[in-house]
Amino acid sequence: MDPRVNYYGNGLAAKAMKHFGSVSKVLADSTLPAGIQSLVEIRASQINGCGFCTDMHTKEAAHAGETSIRLNLVAAWREATLFTEAERAALELAEQGTRVADAAGGVTDEAWANAAKHFDEDQLVALITLIAIINCYNRINIINQQPAGDYKVGQFG
């Protein structure tokens, strides 16, 4: 599989990605735990079918110390005993925020209230922004048919 265009080698894309990267840096520097951020990125990417982002975020999470069993169970988190209540709340919010076209009601009040039990306002803002930005990255890669499998840890800095 080849990408439709050399997106990551294109000058215009580089300018856009610089701004997206700035958002990602703000999120990385936030108080939302990095491990939760990784789980959210992985789950949204799985739902969207973005192989490139799933590849990237699972490799980065493993490099950061996440276990292979937890990575393998992200898609089945509801049936797995390995996730904390805060992680479950974040994964639920990520799923509902990603599946907006599938779920006519969008994010339920129940999912929001559960997330609000585990995260302060800044962390909730980071979580909302993270869900939005990973969905954006997913769509870029899906539209471009960006192939998965060759990502190297730290490839984008």
pLDDT at res. 126: 98
Determine the distance from the C-alpha atom of residue 41 to the mean position of all C-alpha atoms in its chain, rounded to a whole number.
1
Contact 148, 54 (CB under 8 A): yes
pTM: 0.95
Instruction: Compute the distance between CA of residue 7 and CA of residue 11 in angstroms, rounded to an integer.
Output: 9
Q: Is the pLDDT of residue 103 over 70?
A: no
Convert the pLDDT of each residue in 33-60 to its tens digit. Answer: 999 999 999 999 999 999 999 999 999 9
Is residue 104 very low, low, confident or very high in pLDDT (cuts 50, 70, 90)? low
Phi-psi region of 154 (alpha: psi -120 to 50; beta: other; left: phi over 0): left
The mean of the pLDDT values for the chain is 95
Q: Is the pLDDT of residue 157 over 90?
A: no
Quick one: angle between helices 121-144 and 109-118, nearest 10?
A: 120
Residues in the chain: 157
The whole-number average pLDDT for the span 78-87 is 98
150's tokens: 């060759």
Q: Is the pLDDT of residue 105 over 80?
A: no
